[in-house]
Chains A and B, each alone.
Chain A
Amino acid sequence: MDPLLLLLACPLAGTFALGLFGHRARAPELNVAFSLGTLLAAGALTADVIAHGSRHALERQFFIDALNVFLVALTAFVAFTTALFSRPYMRVEQAHGRMTAPRLRLYHSMYQLFTFTMLLALTTNNLGLLWVATEAATLATVLLVSVYRTAASLEAAWKYFILCGVGIAQALFGTVLLYMASERAGIGEAGALLWTQLDMVKTALDPRIMGLAFAFLFVGYGTKVGLVPVHNWLPDAHAEGPTPVSAVLSGLLLNVALYAVLRCKVLTDGALGPALTGQLMMAFGLLSVLVAAFFLSRQRDVKRMFAYSSIEHMGLITFAFGIGGPVATFAGLLHMTVHSLVKSAIFFAVGHAAQQAGTQVMSEIRGLIRSSPTVGWGLMIGALAILGMPPFGVFASEFLILTTAMREQPWATPFLLVGLGVAFAAVLRRVQPMVFGEDSFKPLPQRPALVPVFVHLGIALVLGLYIPPYLVDWYREAARLVAG
């Protein structure tokens, strides 16, 4: 059987199965099992693509190349580890009375649906379908964010829905314009929105239409990436939803939205050169880094703070893709990978810490290293990793981005350094007392799932020290696709 089909069928089947049995006692294990199935399918697909190169599937409606297969693998992996993490996490929430059986059913079912929509968005070749999948991902996550039904979570979900709904509507307008451009370029209706078709004729696409289309697409998908000034939904949704959801939002959804921007950028660059897209992405990326860094230093809620950190990193990645060229794009892709891994690891640790302390307010979480050393170390190492300390992978990618920026866009370097510096000081100042301070709490009723935390951090460490040659080739190939 085609691994691609399996990849999509597995979470979809999980949606229905967990929709029926998601409230049972063994539902978390079922959730893990479906996520594992997805991961295995993703592995098979990746092996297939490495062996045979990029390929179409299902009448060209799906397309796998170096760029998306690496994101598919990452998505399936993080979705799996998050499912592992969510198993004990949700049991504790249930014990605390924050989750009830019907809510758990909704949570599990939507978790699988969310995985499905992200994988659909990544693998589809049809830009219209990409839009539909992204919107569906919004709908699924809205339900996930509001699962606690508290006033704050409802507010966060409402804001998320309205802002992302409006943003994504702009992307639809952009898609309509793209369709118009492709019709003018003489592609028949059947293939008009297929990315591979458009990629073949991208130099013939009308530059005026493409310029406008990219502006709309960038605003639309950029809202979901969480770029400033349309980032307002992101901290709320991260802080008020369950922690596993925060982990997948930061680790996966933002990547998928950025992936959509990249696909559109490739087409636009073909039509009118990289100047417009590059400048737009650099400008908004830089703005996001700066604004997020300063907001970060003013947060009191730990999940909010790391949500702003996600905005900062997405800004950095967007900036890297904006610079263009093989090195910066390589660095951007690497940063996407390590950021996903490290940030989700941090959220896992934060989730346990917050459960233990019974609050998300940072000034009330103290002395994790004594009450549960592994959680404390996980948070500390994760924080150091995300701040770009060597030898973690984030250091490697940030270093690459900074040096490229110095060489090609020297004006931006001071801004980047200020942003990164402020974020560094702010996060460290907050995390340090949380881990090492006085005080201790009761241990949790469930053993925390710390394997995912350290697996993620371990991979990020390995990527910082040594990137295997096949992975380098893979990134290079993906960077070539994006940067041309």
Chain B
Amino acid sequence: MAFIRFADRPAFRNPWAEFERIRQGLDELSRSYADKGKGQARANVYPALNIYEESDRLIVTAELPGVKVHDLELSVEGETLTIQGKRDSRQNDPGISYHRREIESGSFSRAIALPVKIDTEQVGAKLSNGILTITLMKASEVKPRQIKVTAE
């Protein structure tokens, strides 16, 4: 006796086959988006930021190759952090011819709302090897506080 499995049937005998194919296609599409995303957010404004949270502080990092310290301006106002600066990678040498040009020059400005209240008096920032690291201490009222339990 010959077995014909449901999925092996020719299309004219299974009107749902086409729907099944579409469903599989959609599954694949959503899977590929999910894999690519991996919780990553897309930045629309330069620079792209990574933010880490520790119990008492926030750490904001950005890749800023070619930006000099004196061309960088940071400010914190309330819960908004603003990063501004510029980069100039243009060559002033007259007799040069470019083979490739992928590095851009220009200015940037990005303001980001921080997820918690921070202490604006205690903000540290450093720029090393093109990586900017900003450390923002949380405001004392949002810092976790250990509560001692006493036995009576």
Bound pair: A and B?
Answer: no
Residues of B within 8 A of A (CB): none
